[in-house]
Amino acid sequence: MERRPAAAVNVGGVVIGGGQPIVIQSMTSSKTDEVGKTLAQVKRLAAAGCQLVRVAVPDRGAAKALDTLVGASPVPLIADIHFDHELALAALEAGVSKLRINPGTMSLKALNSVVARASRLGVPLRVGVNSGSIHRDYQHLPRVEALVKSALYYCQVIADLGWDELVVSLKSSSVTETYLATEQFAGQSLYPLHLGVTEAGTIGSSTIKSAIGIGGLLLRGIGDTLRVSVTGPPESEIPIALGILRALGLRRGIDIISCPTCGRSGYDVAAVAQEVEDRLGSLELPLKIAVMGCVVNGPGEAKSADFGIAFGPGGGALFKKGQVVAKMANDELLYALLQLIDEEARQRN
Amino acid sequence: MERRPAAAVNVGGVVIGGGQPIVIQSMTSSKTDEVGKTLAQVKRLAAAGCQLVRVAVPDRGAAKALDTLVGASPVPLIADIHFDHELALAALEAGVSKLRINPGTMSLKALNSVVARASRLGVPLRVGVNSGSIHRDYQHLPRVEALVKSALYYCQVIADLGWDELVVSLKSSSVTETYLATEQFAGQSLYPLHLGVTEAGTIGSSTIKSAIGIGGLLLRGIGDTLRVSVTGPPESEIPIALGILRALGLRRGIDIISCPTCGRSGYDVAAVAQEVEDRLGSLELPLKIAVMGCVVNGPGEAKSADFGIAFGPGGGALFKKGQVVAKMANDELLYALLQLIDEEARQRN
């Protein structure tokens, strides 16, 4: 699928859009003015693979904390502002790398002052429209149309004020609405897009909703940055985000393909696949590893894998780039596979 | 999104396609000839919400076991056949409700005899093409094109033999290939489609890959039956399948929307959302429940929910159909919400 062309927006050195790899972001859940706790959370997020971190700025205390946080954070910070444009101005002074505003919660005059300051400082904005804050002129419309028109309207207002370093999101707690609104907006604009499903729920629920909504758009070539939203610790969002990108070949990493253990298999494939995943999950080599339980799909699927093993009734086979490189007892396959990958990792380093 | 029109195929009373609700299926992992174990697994799958169960038929013993299994199963059974058309004929004699064949593993003569018998008995076939068994004439083509051409070719061969009660699947362990091949086939055929990503891996990995691949197609209106494939116990596939359908509003059930606990919230929203999910997860009422941590998105998002609670600094609010029906202390919100839903459930029963 060809990627939708989008303008490049530089967020403190991390580029969103412009054909760059898709950027993973998250948001702290600590109270922002508890600087120690917030900074610890930012560092945990960064260590997990989060490239941009957003912090809520609901009051003066939070805005003041930004002075310290911006200097100490290992990744660029984004300030999340609603209602109060004075807080947006304070965040800009503190040196944040991007502002997320929900223009539906501000007067045009307030928006004007924020845009003027951001433009002068060269700080990009995210225009975040969600179904809870549709522009009042569009509230009578069907939800998807209302989201698209609100987003287009606010982008135009800001562009008319002379600033177009914008990233745009259209979010709803309905996966289908989020998908349709984002797709429709994508066809009418060149601004880079931030993907996410709001209020996606607990880890299990969010994994499903986010994978469908975010993944469904990425499959159409749409999206430049993403956030998986989980009701829970923000660090838990990053493996899901990485999983979505890896599943689509958009991020390096081990991709383990393993078959359901059907009646054809005489071997505990699930346990072996889990062990491979546990041992190699954090490896950043872009390798496809096949763990197959039988000869029906085994050799065929293993052809597309870099390395693979297939268990068989009388013994199994070890594959490398679609070729059988050794036959051996089933019990020896896992060890042989791990050894092969270990050699590969050393050669590439 | 409008649903793709597809022919209706009756599988032992469960209709796939024809505008009917999307059917959930799975496959046993026991050895089919261990009848007691297999039947126990079929019953667990059915109890979890699986509507059709496939069993592997790799040998005579498995085919013989079908005589007993077909009579005792609470849901229609599908026989999974590769290579040996004699096993397909035996499965048809045993009274299975559908045959899954991979025509790429049979000679045309063998296929002919299977189709003739299925047609005479009125048993539908699934034509399951996967990247491990592309027709040899198409193996030089790019994978997606090869999958589509193989599927179209085998459907035509079977239709020419006089039988067109077909369900079709095009599967690859690549989510993107599965998506593109299925979408392209969908535009060129009216046969109902079976969705799934093969070798999707462990539960965590499969949840992501299946939600993207299956959910991405459902978002385009494509798909009539689905299987989430997990390397592990097949019962674990059903909650993921149900989660995908519920996330897209394609299956009744409680949909809990809850916000990430950002710095704006002063309350443990995650714990409350999890408790609501635990208490109401199995309820089949099609209700949307909002658990919101603050006033920014709370009231707006809660408008689209049937019931909702939003925590606030000085106390919270209870919503019903977008209207605040009561204000109370934050600690009282959960109990009040559960009581409201309980009343609703009793009224609807």
Query: pLDDT band at residue A263, thresholds of 50, 70 and 90?
Result: low
**Strand pairing report for B323-328 and B316-320:** antiparallel
A19/chain B closest Cα distance in angstroms = 19
A245 compared with A296, residue with greater pLDDT: A245
Is residue B243 located within the same domain as residue B260?
Answer: no
Over 80: is that where the pLDDT of A304 sits? Answer: no
User: Looking at the domain assignment, is residue B106 inside a domain?
Assistant: yes
Q: Which of A215, A247, A279 is the last residue of a domain?
A: A247
Average pLDDT over residues B176-189: 97
Residue A266 has what pLDDT? 64
Residue in chain A nearest B179 by alpha carbon: A219
Judge whether A2 lies within some domain. no
The tens digit of pLDDT for each residue in B263-296 reads 555 678 888 888 888 788 767 778 888 888 865 5
Predicted pLDDT at A127? 96
Number of domains in chain B: 2
Question: Which residue in A has a C-alpha nearest to residue B268's C-alpha?
Answer: A232
Is pLDDT at B347 greater than 90 in this prediction? no
Q: What confidence score (pLDDT) does residue B346 get? A: 84
3-state helix/strand/coil string of A71-113: HHCCCCEEEEECCCHHHHHHHHHHCCCEEEECHHHCCHHHHHH
Pick A286 or A335 by higher pLDDT: A335
- Name the closest residue on chain A to residue B294, using Cα atoms: A58
Residue A218: its pLDDT value, please? Answer: 98
- Span B297-310, pLDDT tens digits: 555 666 678 899 98
Q: Is the pLDDT of residue A134 over 70?
A: yes
Residues from chain A that touch B306, judged by Cβ atoms under 8 A, are none
Together in a domain, B160 and B298? no
Mean pLDDT, rounded, of chain A: 90
Confidence of residue A147 (pLDDT cuts 50, 70, 90): very high
Please give, rounded to a whole number of angstroms, the shortest distance from the CA of B121 to a CA of chain A. 26
- A188's enclosing H/E stretch is none
Residues B162 and B274 in one domain: no
- The strand pairing partners of B32, in sequence order, are none
Of the candidates A31, A213, A231, the beta carbon closest to that of B258 is on A231
Task: Please check whether residues A85 and A214 belong to one and the same domain.
Answer: yes
Sheet of strand B23-27: strand arrangement: B166-171, B125-130, B98-101, B77-81, B52-56, B23-27, B225-226, B194-195
Which residues from A are below 8 Å from B58, CB to CB?
263-264
CATH of residue A310's domain is: 3.30.413.10
Residue at B29 is within a domain: yes
pLDDT at B305: 87
Closest CA to A228 of A250, A248, A243: A243
pLDDT of residue B279: 80
B237 and B266 in a single domain? The answer is no
Other C-beta atoms closer than 10 Å to the C-beta of B84 total 17
Amino acid B296: pLDDT? 58
Which residues in chain A have their CB less than 8 angstroms from residue B105's CB? 296
Same domain, yes or no, for B157 and B296? no
**Both B117 and B262 in a single domain?**
no
Instruction: Give the end of a domain, one of B201, B217, B247.
Output: B247
pLDDT tens digits, B200-218: 788 888 999 999 999 999 9
Q: What is the pLDDT of residues A50-77, one digit of tens each?
A: 999 999 999 999 999 999 999 999 999 9
| Top-ranked range on mean pLDDT: pick from A260-274, A287-301, B253-267, B281-295 | B281-295
- State the CATH number of the domain containing residue B173: 3.20.20.20
As a whole number, mean pLDDT of residues A329-342 equals 90
- Give the one of A58, A131, A173 whose C-beta lies nearest to B264's C-beta: A58
Looking up tokens 């208490």 gives B279
Q: How far is the alpha carbon of A13 from chain B, nearest alpha carbon, in Å?
A: 25
Three-state SS for A216? helix
**Does B153 lie in the same domain as B105?**
yes
Q: Are residues A72 and A134 in the same domain?
A: yes
Residue A260 has pLDDT above 80, yes or no: no
Q: Give the lowest-confidence range in A9-13, A145-149, A332-336.
A: A332-336
Instruction: Write out chain A residues lying below 8 Å of B100, CB-based.
Output: none
The answer to whether B257 and B293 have CB atoms below 8 angstroms apart is no
Subunit contact B247:A208, Cβ cutoff 8 A: yes
Residue A145 lies in a domain: yes
Residue range B330-335: average pLDDT? 90
- Per-residue pLDDT at B262: 58
Q: Is residue B1 part of a domain?
A: no
Q: Do A57 and A160 share a domain, yes or no?
A: yes
Say if CB B212 and CB B205 are below 8 A apart.
no
Determine, yes or no, domain membership for A1. Answer: no
Could you tell me whether strands A225-226 and A23-27 are parallel, antiparallel, or unpaired per DSSP bridges? parallel
What is the pTM assigned to this prediction? 0.86
Dihedrals φ, ψ of B325, to 5°? -100, -20
So what's the pLDDT on residue B295?
A: 58
The per-residue pLDDT for range A80-95, each reduced to its tens digit, is 998 899 999 999 999 9
Q: Are residues A51 and A167 in the same domain?
A: yes
Closest-CA residue to B102 (of B138, B64, B133):
B133
Say whether pLDDT at A267 is over 90: no
Q: Which is higher by pLDDT, A146 or A311?
A: A146
A41 and A122 share a domain?
A: yes
Confidence (pLDDT) at B261 = 61
Do B263 and A56 lie within an 8 Å CB cutoff? yes
pLDDT at A296: 58
Mean pLDDT of B104-119: 93
pLDDT of B204 reads: 87
CB-CB under 8 Å, A297 with B219:
no
Give the single-character DSSP code of A206.
Answer: H
Query: Pick from A221, A247, A273: which residue ends a domain?
Result: A247
Separation CA A50–CA A39 (nearest Å):
14
**Which residue, among B205, B128, B196, B123, has the nearest Cα to B164 in the 3D structure?**
B123
Mean pLDDT of chain B: 90
How does pLDDT run across B24-66, given as a tens digit for each residue? 999 999 999 999 999 999 999 999 899 999 999 999 999 999 9
Q: Are B167 and B125 in contact (CB under 8 A)?
A: yes
Least confident of A269-273, B18-22, B90-94, B113-117: A269-273
The pLDDT of residue A101: 92
Within a domain: residue B3? no
Kind plus residue range of the DSSP H or E element containing A244: helix A237-247
Q: Choose the closest CB to A130 out of B1, B208, B297.
A: B297
Q: Which domain holds residue B64?
A: 8-247
> Which of A35, A42, A257, A288 is most worth mutating to test chain B (most B CB atoms within 10 A of its CB)?
A257
Measured between beta carbons, the chain A residues lying within 8 angstroms of B106 are: none
| Of the partner residues A131, A208, A264, the one whose CB lies closest to the CB of residue B301 | A131
**Per-residue pLDDT tens over the stretch B67-89:** 999 999 999 999 999 889 999 99
- Chain A residues with CB under 8 Å of B235 CB are none
pLDDT at B155: 96
In this structure, is residue B2 part of a structural domain?
no
Give the pLDDT band of residue A21 (cuts 50, 70, 90): very high
pLDDT at A141: 95
Q: Which residue would you say has higher pLDDT here, A275 or A129?
A: A129
In the predicted model, what is the mean pLDDT of residues A102-106?
85
From CA B154, how far away is CA B149, in angstroms rounded? 9
